[in-house]
């Protein structure tokens, strides 16, 4: 019998970038699986293959394989994936399109997204992005550093510290790894209710920051070493380091490139150095600049303010002017009205009453101004909810949407049903911008029970997001609703 191989034709198949990205990872896994089975069967490394002695030259880590051996695995995997695609199969990865992070094709993209979300205080979204990245690049040092930093932001300190200690054991004694590790000790000190542990964790934080400063000479571990030295009563050490750090920051601020790369951090560090040196006028001057530069990065501004508060309390000085300079915006959440959701036509009647909507918008403006709101959350339902988001946008505030269910059904049930007054266009304008900024969430894919039950659940979801943000920034939280926005009821 004559055998005629007839493989699937893959000559016209070209792998998309996101699949090319994972070939190397799959090749490593294939090699490790093969090696594990060989070792389990009693094989060991040998300079050449010997079936009698059970020795094989490829029983080494993947990175140490000759390139021709690596290419064999790569080509086999590439051809297998091409055959699946040629057969009509689809292969999805976190970066394959249609997923939450479809545009992220490289590890650096996930690093940048995680860092951006963390800096603006969106720790939960940042964590999700980093975890998705780690599913493809589980050993990436920067992703692991960011994961530990985000966990520390959320107060989950032991898992954060475990990651960092493992990185240190692997030889990562860089500024970022040691700096975050020291921060977890500092947070333990803040959370501790045991006076004995207070000194222990504060000392651990100080020693770790000092080791980092000695290793790297960086101004970030330097200023933290100086601040903790102050709190430990090591005034001479603190002022010596603060003086060195302050001088470095002034030099860097005088360099246009250095200034452009890190003006906020250099300015904030310089302000803190002057505070430690008890040069209060200069500290005040640079804290004012820090507050201006910190607009839009509330997480970093809060970290600066936290350290300033420690020093102000320890030094026993009036810190009101510094508090004013580092003031963070309040957070507000708009609570949807659940009482009219299941009354046919009632919601549409309310949201199409021009006089009512105009009055509500004025009241929302007043509330945002009075409470100094800079960050807000809402469901984006037609009417006061959407007006709240639009008002935030017009005032230059941060706005976040939490849809009660999937967008298609939401448009039908909560936007299109309202009819007049251009609600759909307003929704599209706001939604598209916030979606591109990763500021849209969905409370549940489908409605939960009756519509009033769905919005009751969504209100809880919104409140949770807003409360987490307010706690992370140590700022006020204001609940706003159509009822609170009405005030004295107008003649409608």
Check which CATH number belongs to the domain holding 156 and give it.
1.25.40.10
Burial of 51 (0-12, 13-18, 19+ CB in 10 A): exposed
Average pLDDT, the chain: 85
**What secondary structure, in 3-state letters, does 139-196 show?**
CCHHHHHHHHHHHHHCCCHHHHHHHHHHHHHCCCCCHHHHHHHHHHHHHHHHHCCCHH
Do both 129 and 208 map to the same domain?
yes
- Give the domain CATH number at 398: 3.40.50
**Is position 240 within any domain?**
no
Question: pLDDT tens, 140-153?
Answer: 999 999 999 999 98
Neighbouring CB atoms inside 10 A of 159's CB total 14
pLDDT of residue 165: 94
Among 181, 130, 128, 127, smallest CA distance to 158 is for 181
* Confidence class for position 75, pLDDT limits 50, 70, 90: confident
**Is position 227 within any domain?**
no
**Is position 477 within any domain?**
yes
Structure tokens at 62: 């993947």
Rg (CA), the chain: 28
pLDDT of residue 72: 85
| CA gap 205, 234 in Å, rounded | 14
- Give the domain CATH number at 78: 1.10.490.160
3-class secondary structure, 16? coil
**Is position 9 within any domain?**
no
Question: pLDDT tens, 95-136?
Answer: 444 345 545 557 888 899 888 888 877 888 889 889 888 877
Do both 334 and 481 map to the same domain?
yes
Do both 161 and 271 map to the same domain?
no
Whether pLDDT at 214 is above 70: yes
Percent of the chain past pLDDT 70, that is, above it, reads: 87
Strand partners for 270: none
Do both 196 and 134 map to the same domain?
yes
Domain closes at, from 328, 352, 370:
328
Give me the mean pLDDT over the 205-228 stretch: 94
Cβ neighbours for 460, distance < 8 A, ≥ 6 positions apart: none
Do both 266 and 371 map to the same domain?
no
- Max distance between CA atoms of the chain, in angstroms, equals 97
Matching residue, tokens 């006089």: 355
Structure tokens at 425: 């266009």
Task: Indicate the number of domains in the chain.
Answer: 4
* Confidence class for position 484, pLDDT limits 50, 70, 90: low
Whether pLDDT at 404 is above 70: yes
Domain closes at, from 26, 56, 86:
86
Give CA separation, 450 vs 75, 382, 407, 411, in Å.
55, 18, 18, 17
Q: How many residues does the chain have?
A: 492
3-class secondary structure, 469? helix
- Write out the E strands in 39-170: 44-45, 55-56
Do both 61 and 114 map to the same domain?
no
Burial of 113 (0-12, 13-18, 19+ CB in 10 A): buried
Percent of the chain past pLDDT 90, that is, above it, reads: 48
Whether pLDDT at 343 is above 50: no
Domain span at 29: 17-86
Give me the mean pLDDT over the 275-290 stretch: 96
Q: Which residue has the higher pLDDT, 341 or 465?
A: 465
**Is position 238 within any domain?**
no
**Is position 265 within any domain?**
yes
Do both 375 and 317 map to the same domain?
no
Matching residue, tokens 């051809």: 79
* H/E element, 99: none
Give me the mean pLDDT over the 171-190 stretch: 92
Residue 125 and residue 114 in contact, taking contact as beta carbons nearer than 8 Å: no
| CA gap 473, 340 in Å, rounded | 34
For the beta sheet containing 440-442, the strands, ordered from the edge strand earlier in sequence to the opposite edge, are 440-442, 398-403, 373-378, 330-335, 477-481
Question: pLDDT tens, 353-400?
Answer: 677 778 888 889 999 999 999 999 999 988 889 999 999 999 999 999
Whether pLDDT at 329 is above 60: yes
pLDDT of residue 233: 94
**Is position 360 within any domain?**
yes
| CA gap 412, 269 in Å, rounded | 51
Do both 424 and 294 map to the same domain?
no
Q: Which residue has the higher pLDDT, 93 or 78?
A: 78
Give CA separation, 381 vs 86, 386, 413, in Å.
44, 6, 9
Give me the mean pLDDT over the 206-234 stretch: 94
Do both 319 and 349 map to the same domain?
no
**Is position 232 within any domain?**
no
pLDDT of residue 341: 47
Domain closes at, from 306, 328, 350:
328
**Dihedral sign (CA 249, 202, 215, 239):** positive
pLDDT of residue 15: 66
pTM: 0.67
pLDDT of residue 464: 93
Question: Cα 219 from chain centroid?
Answer: 24
| CA gap 119, 254 in Å, rounded | 25
Do both 276 and 316 map to the same domain?
yes
Do both 264 and 378 map to the same domain?
no
Matching residue, tokens 């590790």: 181
User: How many Cα atoms are found within 13 Å in the side-chain-facing hemisphere of 149?
Assistant: 25
Do both 355 and 481 map to the same domain?
yes
pLDDT of residue 99: 44
Among 135, 160, 126, smallest CA distance to 25 is for 135
Q: Which residue has the higher pLDDT, 90 or 452?
A: 452
**Dihedral sign (CA 369, 372, 374, 378):** negative
3-class secondary structure, 77? helix
* Confidence class for position 171, pLDDT limits 50, 70, 90: very high
Neighbouring CB atoms inside 10 A of 452's CB total 16
Residue 209 and residue 228 in contact, taking contact as beta carbons nearer than 8 Å: yes
Matching residue, tokens 């959701």: 341
């Amino acid at each position: 019998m004559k055998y005629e191989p007839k493989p699937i034709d893959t000559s016209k198949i070209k792998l998309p970038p996101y699949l090319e990205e994972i070939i190397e990872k799959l090749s490593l896994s294939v090699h490790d699986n093969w090696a594990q089975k060989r070792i389990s069967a009693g094989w060991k490394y040998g300079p050449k293959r010997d079936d009698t002695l059970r020795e094989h030259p490829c029983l080494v880590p993947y990175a140490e394989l000759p390139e021709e051996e690596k290419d064999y695995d790569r080509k086999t995997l590439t051809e297998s994936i091409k055959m699946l695609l040629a057969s009509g199969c689809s292969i999805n990865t976190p970066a394959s399109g249609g997923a939450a992070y479809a545009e992220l094709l490289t590890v650096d993209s996930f690093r940048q997204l995680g860092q951006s979300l963390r800096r603006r205080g969106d720790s939960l979204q940042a964590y999700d992005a980093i975890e998705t990245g780690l599913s493809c690049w589980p050993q990436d040092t920067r992703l692991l550093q960011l994961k530990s930093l985000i966990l520390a932001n959320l107060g989950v300190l032991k898992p954060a510290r475990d990651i960092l200690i493992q990185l240190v054991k692997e030889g990562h004694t860089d500024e970022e790894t040691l700096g975050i590790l020291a921060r977890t000790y500092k947070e333990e000190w803040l959370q501790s209710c045991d006076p004995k542990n207070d000194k222990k964790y504060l000392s651990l934080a100080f020693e770790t920051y000092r080791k980092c400063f000695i290793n790297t000479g960086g101004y970030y571990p330097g200023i933290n070493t100086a601040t903790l030295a102050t709190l430990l009563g090591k005034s001479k050490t603190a002022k010596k380091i603060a003086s060195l750090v302050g001088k470095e920051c002034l030099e860097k601020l005088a360099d246009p490139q250095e200034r452009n790369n890190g003006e906020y951090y250099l300015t904030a560090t310089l302000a803190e150095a002057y505070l430690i040196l008890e040069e209060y006028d200069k500290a005040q001057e640079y804290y004012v600049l820090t507050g201006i530069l910190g607009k839009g990065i509330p997480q970093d501004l809060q970290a600066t303010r936290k350290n300033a508060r420690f020093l102000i309390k320890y030094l026993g000085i009036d810190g009101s002017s510094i508090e004013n300079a580092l003031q963070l915006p309040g957070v507000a959440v708009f609570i949807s009205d659940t009482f009219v959701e299941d009354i046919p036509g009632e919601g549409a009647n309310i949201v199409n009453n021009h006089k009512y909507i105009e009055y509500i918008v004025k009241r929302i403006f007043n509330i945002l101004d009075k409470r100094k709101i800079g960050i807000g959350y809402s469901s984006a339902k037609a009417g006061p909810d959407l007006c709240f988001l639009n008002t935030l946008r017009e005032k230059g505030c941060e706005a976040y949407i939490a849809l009660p269910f999937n967008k298609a059904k939401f448009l039908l049930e909560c936007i299109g049903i309202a009819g007049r007054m251009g609600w759909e266009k307003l929704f599209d304008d706001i939604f598209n911008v916030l979606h591109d900024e990763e500021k849209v969430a969905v409370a549940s894919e489908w409605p939960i029970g009756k519509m009033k039950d769905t919005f009751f659940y969504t209100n809880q979801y919104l409140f949770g997001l807003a409360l987490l943000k307010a706690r992370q920034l140590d700022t006020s939280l204001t609940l706003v609703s159509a009822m609170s926005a009405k005030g004295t009821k107008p003649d409608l």
